[in-house]
Chains A and B, each alone.
Chain A
Amino acid sequence: MKRFLPFSLFFVLVVLLFGCARIKYTTREKRVEIFEHGGRNVEFTVIGRKNFYLWGHFPKDSTVYLDEVVHQATGYFDPAEISIEDFQSFPQFLASFFSIGLYTPRSYRIKGYAIRPKQYDQ
């Protein structure tokens, strides 16, 4: 019992203090349609990363602005029918594992359709 008590207390403490990373996906300014109704002429994929520290406690909330991320990465605009994959790659997993969670990177992959500006065709 004496050996079990510290371990169970530690278990409760860890579970209570444990905070996995929180990533919110939204837009800042421009409208991003949920469903594609025609007019978008190019398919895109954007991969990004968010870094978290101390078991995901810092920063507690992290936001991905879909309109900004897509435009900055591809130059395309008016994205639609976006699918979001939230994942941890194997190297990121290893980084988390060997730092015991002090550094916890996560990635996101955004796929969808957008409008390619005409100057890109020239």
Chain B
Amino acid sequence: MALRPTPINPSQTPTGPTPTLPHDHLLALPRSLLPLLAGVGLAAGLHFYVGPAVGPFYAKLLIDIGIGILLANSLNLVNGLTGQFSIGHAGFMAVGGYTAAAITYYGSMRLWGSPAVHGGFLGSGELLFAGSCIAGGLVAAVAGFIVGLPSLRLRGDYLAIVTLGFGEIIRVLLQQTGDVLLTADQVRETPWWVLPTKAGGALGFTGLPYYTSLFWVYFFVTVVLIVSLRLKHSSLGRAFLSIREDEIAAEAMGIPTTRLKVTAFMLAAFFAGIGGGLFAHEIGVTLNPQDLGFQKSFDIVVMVVLGGMGSISGVTLAGGLLTVLPEILRSLADPAVAGLAAIFPISPQTQDELRQVIGSNFRMILYALALIVMMIGRPQGLFGLHEIWDFRWPGRRRSRLSARGAP
């Protein structure tokens, strides 16, 4: 199975024999693992060479970008491919994050007596962390099932409200949890089913070890990218797209729309849960319920909408760009205000306020305006449903297109 995307428009299907291996060929399996291995290699390269070379600040920025890409692609599965409007995604992040945090923290306490980082690269500590992230994703998928099943039966507008409400309920429930246990003895005495209720409440889950590294972030990013790309061009993905285009027609063609919508929802929640786990163990983050609310959900929605709902490359680009936007604005605030002050007479007080507005408030206003203008002017976002390699870039040889049977 080649990675080259097959075109969506049936008039563009290749007319000639395609140079692919049949599925049961001996060499098919290793070839299909090639992208995954390449991704793992890339992640390792980032972790060992790029990370130390650029310094901790840029490394953290790269981690943030990776998590942003992961979350944006996870939401793309629901909002983009299936066309359902979910705006409570941060709730699934919270579920996954807290599950992963509880497993890592209390697991470390039980196994090694302290919550500090244990073992080196791919050591037992990191494997526990990876396992807990995946467990967090699974729990989030279950939550996605519980939330999705009643609301996906109905019209799309309701899903938005229900997911929003779900995010709020999760926040309230998480705030009721008790203090985090600090010593190994306390952890040993408490039965394991009580431990999840000791998640720190409103203060947050403090004391988590910093396991999130460039390697793990980009490993999971690779997984989600591969899954998304493969899904988009598989029959399941086409079913999703058909639901997005016209749900009633899809139902008429025999596609079980509710079941597939719930599947997409669960898949998205799974990856959001993994994203939450990575977020929880990131350096400088105290996982707390207030920060995984509507604001965060909205940030992810903006990434998906601006990048083009359904376009994986578009969403990836938008996810990365919007993650670093606050930093860019912060860097631009000073020179911008200095430039303005050179033209207009502005008092220092107003300059301070302007600096603050450009650095902070402006971002949200920019997002809101960008959304509105995008929807009116270019609703398909940056790339629409296409990928970055579907466009006719200048310099692209005609022969490649004709080999694919373009008209």
Do A and B originate from a single complex?
no
